[in-house]
Structure 1
Amino acid sequence: MDPLFMAYSFFRRRKYEPCVELCTNLLEKNPYDQAAWSLKTRALTEQVLVDEVENEEEGIAEMLMDDNAIAQVARPGTSLKKPGTSSNGPSQGVRPMSQSGRPLSGFVRPGTQGGRPGTMDQALKTPRTASTARPVTSASGRYVRLGTASMLSNPDGPFINLGRLNFGKYAQRPNLAKSLFEYILHHENDVRNALELAAAATEACQYKDWWWKVQLGKCYYRLGMYRESERQLKSALKEQDVIDTYLYLCKNYKRLDQPLAAIEYYKQGLEKFPGEVSLLLGIARIHEALNDNVESLKMYKEVLHHDNMNVEAIASIATNHFYSDQPEIALKFYRRLLQMGVYNSELFTNLGLCCFYAQQYDMTLTCFERALTMATDENAADIWYNVGHVALGIGDMNLAYQCFRLAISASNDHPEAYNNLGVLELRKGHIEQARAFFQSAQSMAPHMFEPHYNFAQLSDKVGDLQSSYNAVNKAKEAFPDHADSKDLFKQLKHHFAML
Structure 2
Amino acid sequence: MGESTMDKNQQAISLMKENKYQEAAALFNEVIEQNPGDPTGYINFGNLLLQLNETERAKRFFEKAIDLDENAATAYYALGNLYFDKELFSNAQQYFKQAIENGLEESDAYFMLGMSFKNDEQIKFSLPYLLRATELSNNDETILFQYGLALAQLEYLEEAEKTFHQVLKLNEDHSDAYYNLGVISLFHDNADEAMSYFEQALEIQPDHVLAANGKKTVLAFLEDQE
TM-score (ref. length: structure 1): 0.38
**RMSD value over aligned CA atoms?**
3.3
Q: 1:427-460, CA deviations, whole angstroms, 9 ceiling, x for partnerless residues? A: xxxxxxxxxxxxxxxxxxxxxxxxxxxxxxxxxx
Tell me, yes or no, if the aligned pair for 1:214 and 1:236 is still in contact at 8 Å: yes
In structure 1, what is the Cα distance between the partners aligned to 2:160 and 2:100? 29
In structure 2, what is the Cα distance between the partners aligned to 1:175 and 1:292? 41
1:191 and 2:191 correspond: no
Tell me, yes or no, if the aligned pair for 2:199 and 2:211 is still in contact at 8 Å: no
Structure 1 match to 2:12? 181
- Say how many residue pairs are matched: 220
Q: CA deviation at 1:217?
A: 0.9
Tell me, yes or no, if the aligned pair for 1:266 and 1:279 is still in contact at 8 Å: yes
Tell me, yes or no, if the aligned pair for 1:355 and 1:363 is still in contact at 8 Å: yes
Instruction: Within 5 Å, give how 1:99-118 maps onto structure 2.
Output: none
Question: Aligned partner of 2:201: which letter?
Answer: A
Tell me, yes or no, if the aligned pair for 1:304 and 1:313 is still in contact at 8 Å: yes
Structure 1 match to 2:126? 296
Structure 1 match to 2:101? 271
Q: 1:343-392, CA deviations, whole angstroms, 9 ceiling, x for partnerless residues? A: 1233222222322321233433333343344x145x44443232112223
| Bigger proportion of residues as helix | 2
Question: Aligned partner of 2:16: which letter?
Answer: L
Q: CA deviation at 1:395?
A: 3.7
Q: CA deviation at 1:318?
A: 3.0
For structure 2, which runs of at least 5 residues remain unmatched after alignment? Answer: none
Structure 1 match to 2:216? 388
Question: Aligned partner of 2:116: which letter?
Answer: I
Q: 1:256-286, CA deviations, whole angstroms, 9 ceiling, x for partnerless residues? A: 5543332222222222227532222121111
SS in 2 for 1:394: helix
Q: CA deviation at 1:208?
A: 3.6
- 1:234 aligns with one of 21, 46, 63: 63
Tell me, yes or no, if the aligned pair for 1:346 and 1:371 is still in contact at 8 Å: yes
Tell me, yes or no, if the aligned pair for 2:72 and 2:102 is still in contact at 8 Å: no
Change (3 A) 1:380 1:264: closer
- 1:245 aligns with one of 29, 52, 75: 75
In structure 2, what is the Cα distance between the partners aligned to 1:322 and 1:291? 14
In structure 1, what is the Cα distance between the partners aligned to 2:76 and 2:196? 45
In structure 1, what is the Cα distance between the partners aligned to 2:48 and 2:143? 31
Tell me, yes or no, if the aligned pair for 1:226 and 1:256 is still in contact at 8 Å: no
SS in 2 for 1:282: helix
Instruction: Within 5 Å, give how 1:24-423 maps onto structure 2.
Output: 173-174=4-5, 177-187=8-18, 189-203=19-33, 205-237=34-66, 238-239=68-69, 241=71, 243-255=73-85, 258-273=88-103, 275-304=105-134, 311-324=141-154, 327-338=157-168, 340-344=169-173, 345-373=175-203, 375-376=204-205, 379-395=207-223
In structure 1, what is the Cα distance between the partners aligned to 2:92 and 2:156? 32
Question: Aligned partner of 2:180: which letter?
Answer: N
Change (3 A) 1:392 1:261: same
Percent of aligned pairs sharing the same letter: 16
Tell me, yes or no, if the aligned pair for 1:327 and 1:358 is still in contact at 8 Å: no
Change (3 A) 1:173 1:306: closer
In structure 2, what is the Cα distance between the partners aligned to 1:227 and 1:380? 38
Tell me, yes or no, if the aligned pair for 2:123 and 2:154 is still in contact at 8 Å: no
In structure 2, what is the Cα distance between the partners aligned to 1:224 and 1:293? 30
In structure 1, what is the Cα distance between the partners aligned to 2:149 and 2:205? 22
